[in-house]
């Protein structure tokens, strides 16, 4: 089943995000290579594709896992969670309807 992982960044976490990004992307690439990633990306803190020093306010990942507990465990072990980029993470079942 698909699960939405919705994360909210901690204040002033841009430097932590940049440092943890390579490992974070590696985990997402593994999901993608396994055909289990529907989409992933950050929420810019301002209305711009490149928010610069304004950074990001959070992230959205939609990926396939066997159970909600498995999706939560994956999110709990993400470098952004471990390194304090995310201050809150919510994981919910997601049903893709369109396209």
Pairing of strands 2-9, 37-44: unpaired
Q: For 23-43, what is each residue's pLDDT tens digit? A: 999 999 999 999 999 999 999
Count of domains forming the chain = 1
Q: Per-residue confidence at 52, pLDDT binned at 50, 70, 90?
A: very high
Q: Is residue 99 part of a domain?
A: no
Q: Is residue 38 part of a domain?
A: yes
Q: Is residue 70 part of a domain?
A: yes
E-only strand ranges, the chain: 2-9, 37-44, 56-64, 86-94
Give the model's pLDDT for residue 72.
98
Q: Is residue 51 part of a domain?
A: yes
pTM above 0.75, yes or no: yes
Positive/negative CA dihedral, 30, 6, 94, 49: negative
Q: Are 53 and 46 in contact (CB under 8 A)?
A: no
Q: For 53-98, what is each residue's pLDDT tens digit? A: 999 999 999 999 999 999 999 999 999 999 999 999 999 999 999 9
Range of the domain at 41: 2-94
User: Residue 87: which CATH number?
Assistant: 3.30.70.1060
Give the model's pLDDT for residue 12.
96
């Amino acid at each position: 089943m698909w699960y939405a992982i919705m994360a909210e960044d901690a204040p002033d976490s841009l430097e932590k995000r940049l440092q943890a990004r390579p490992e974070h992307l590696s985990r997402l690439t593994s999901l993608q290579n396994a055909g289990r990633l529907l989409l992933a990306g950050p929420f810019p803190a301002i209305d711009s594709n490149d928010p610069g020093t304004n950074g990001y306010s959070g992230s959205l990942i939609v990926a396939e896992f066997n159970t909600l507990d498995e999706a939560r465990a994956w999110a709990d072990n993400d470098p952004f969670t471990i390194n304090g980029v995310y201050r809150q993470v919510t994981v919910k079942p997601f049903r893709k309807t369109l396209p």
